[in-house]
A = this chain, B = another copy of it.
């Protein structure tokens, strides 16, 4: 392998969306006097609307819109479903940007900092640029640039998301490593010729997680327990 750049899935792979969105909702609910909603359940229900919302774009039924827009539409549905009343548009915008305020897994910054010494590092996330930049500024993620759905105008696992990232870096897919905690993401990247690395995040979905506990050997080149081990395996 002759790797020049590492691309990263972000939600679940770099950051812990479940704990962070729960925390954000709990703080928001307290500030607004919203009672009786389990914050973890709210985060999980919000996330459940993620793939269906992107599927509207992936299927061609809807022109590309950024994830902030999809997240906000999903949030509006949840606010209706839970019967939450009296929120201003600014309140909803603030809660929607909970996804800009996600905390990294404990090893993420140390691993990325090592990897950055040797490789170009960039997200290849379905999150939009503002979301990724605001998250990185808050959390200290040392990206070299922001790639992904907004620059490709296509949502993973569409081939174009991976291919546009490689093209924009001026690199052949074989010189780019896709890193994710999700085997389907890696399967899609591998099918476009990228190298792949699996990093297990066995608590992404909380206790009792049954999916993505280990690498799918049919599509994964490297498996590591965290980003620091990944850096070591790549000689960074």
A234 within 8 A of B: no
- The answer to whether A128 touches B68, judged by C-beta atoms less than 8 angstroms apart, is no
Min Cβ gap A69→B in Å is 11
Most buried by B among A120, A129, A134: A129
- The answer to whether B137 touches A168, judged by C-beta atoms less than 8 angstroms apart, is no
- The answer to whether A129 touches B168, judged by C-beta atoms less than 8 angstroms apart, is yes
Min Cβ gap A121→B in Å is 10
Chain B residues in 8 Å Cβ range of A134: 170
Q: What string of 1s and 0s marks CB contacts (under 8 Å) between A165-199 and chain B? A: 00011110000000000000000000000000000
- The answer to whether B120 touches A170, judged by C-beta atoms less than 8 angstroms apart, is no
Binds B, one of A22-30, A106-114, A141-149, A224-232: A141-149
| CA distance in complex: A136, B146 (Å) | 13
A151 within 8 A of B: yes
Total A residues in contact with B, Cβ cutoff 8 Å: 21
A132 within 8 A of B: yes
- The answer to whether A133 touches B129, judged by C-beta atoms less than 8 angstroms apart, is no
A103 within 8 A of B: no
Chain B residues in 8 Å Cβ range of A133: 120, 144-145, 169
- The answer to whether B143 touches A168, judged by C-beta atoms less than 8 angstroms apart, is no
A150 within 8 A of B: yes
- The answer to whether A120 touches B144, judged by C-beta atoms less than 8 angstroms apart, is no
A130 within 8 A of B: yes
- The answer to whether A130 touches B169, judged by C-beta atoms less than 8 angstroms apart, is yes
| CA distance in complex: A118, B16 (Å) | 25
17 sample A-B contacts, Cβ–Cβ < 8 Å, listed by A number? A120-B133, A128-B168, A128-B170, A129-B147, A129-B168, A129-B169, A130-B168, A130-B169, A130-B170, A132-B145, A137-B144, A143-B144, A143-B145, A145-B146, A146-B146, A150-B168, A151-B151
